Chains A and B, each alone.
Chain A
Amino acid sequence: MTYVVTDNCIKCKYMDCVEVCPVDCFYEGENMLVIHPDECIDCGVCEPECPANAIFPDTEPSLESWLKLNAEYASVWPNISVKCEPPTDSKEFDGVINKFEQFFSPRPGQGDGGCEDGGPAKVQPVNGEPPGLGQDP
């Protein structure tokens, strides 16, 4: 069992979760985070910390495709354990539906040390299906 990051993280990326995770199992994409299912110990600490309510236990129904996405990108994106400033337009995207189809970026984020100058890189929307994913979450 593991927790998974889902749609509403995309372009919100508040990152409160990474500060409280005891096992540093978050990995950073350009505009969302994912959890490494083999490193998550299912402690549940991150779930209530997420201002976007984007984190769920994988026991919730219909999360298979998100679990797959988390596992796949956790193995290629860099680890993140220190919170950076969220994107300045986070709040505007909080609650927008179907963000995956519109905005998901398969590109990696900067990981730890990437936000030393005070904020993450500006994020451009990326359309199209990410490589290796058979179905949209």
Chain B
Amino acid sequence: MGHHGTADKFIATAQRPAENGAPTEDMIRDLVDRFYTRVRDDPELGPIFERAIPGDWGPHLATMRDFWSSIMLTSGHYKGNPVAIHRRVEGIEPELFGRWLALFDETCRELFNDDLATTFRVKATRIAESLTLALFYKPDRPWRRGTP
């Protein structure tokens, strides 16, 4: 965290959750920025993401801010189909979701208090499980149409 000195100073004053423990939009922005910097530097995740998002990352970061704002603040900002989008990602493997979650949790713990970091982790873990099921194990799901 040494090279994030100015960010740390900012966090000390601005990274407090609202009264009800929910994050602010600014906190979500910081999380998304810092997390995806880490993802792009990661030897496992970096190449997959760089291939999926060549060029300008601005739109992706904006999408992810909207996504987490919708999840954590029920803002309704994000409307999309993450299952379909992940299905198109070349090289995506179930194990990579574990790596993603580890980096996400690490980032949350740097930025937020324990309760809020845990809330993010629980949400992210459930979503990751759901995505991996939809992407990799779908044919085995008992409620698929056409199966008894």
A interface list, Cβ under 8 A from B: 1-2, 19-20, 22-24, 37-45, 49, 67-68, 71-72, 75, 81
Which residues of B pack against A, CB within 8 Å? 67, 70-71, 74, 76, 78-83, 123, 126-127, 129-131, 133-134, 138, 141, 143-145
Give the CA-CA distance A71 to B143 in the complex, in Å.
7
B143 touches A22 (CB 8 A): no
Which chain A positions have C-beta within 8 A of B143?
37, 67-68, 71
User: Shortest CB–CB separation between residue A79 and chain B, in angstroms?
Assistant: 11
Closest chain B residue to A43, Cβ basis: B71
- Closest partner residue, chain A, to B134 (CB atom): A38
Q: From A132, which residue of chain B is reached at the shortest CB distance?
A: B145
Task: Indicate whether A22 sits within 8 Å of B80 (C-beta atoms), given known contacts A2-B130, A42-B126.
Answer: yes
Bound-complex Cα distance A1 to B80 (A): 19
Given contacts A23-B79, A43-B71, A45-B71, 10 further A-B contacts (CB under 8 A): A1-B129, A20-B74, A22-B78, A38-B83, A38-B134, A39-B134, A41-B130, A41-B134, A43-B126, A45-B74
Beyond A38-B134, A43-B71, A45-B74, whether A22 also contacts B129 by CB under 8 A is no
Chain B residues with Cβ under 8 A from A81's Cβ? Answer: 79
Interchain CB contact under 8 A, B127 and A42 = yes
B70 touches A44 (CB 8 A): no
Which single residue of chain A is at the shortest CB-CB distance from B122? A44
- Give the chain A neighbours of B145 by CB distance below 8 A: 71-72, 75
Cα–Cα distance between A119 and B76 once the two chains are bound (Å): 22
Residues of B within 8 A of A2 (CB): 130
Q: Is the CB of B80 within 8 A of A23?
A: yes
Docked pose: A132 CA to B123 CA in angstroms: 34
Question: Which has the most chain A C-beta neighbours within 10 Å: B74, B76, B81, B83?
Answer: B74
Top 4 A-B pairs ranked by shortest CB distance? A42-B130, A71-B143, A22-B70, A22-B78
Distance in Å from the Cβ of A55 to the closest Cβ of chain B? 13
Question: Which of B78, B138, B143: most chain A CB closer than 10 A?
Answer: B143
With CB as the reference atom, state the residue of chain B lying closest to A57: B126
**Nearest Cβ on chain B to A35's Cβ, whole angstroms:** 11
Q: How far is the CB of A85 from chain B (nearest CB, A)?
A: 18
Inter-chain contacts of A49 with B (CB < 8 A): 74
Inter-subunit contact B82/A23 (CB<8 Å): yes
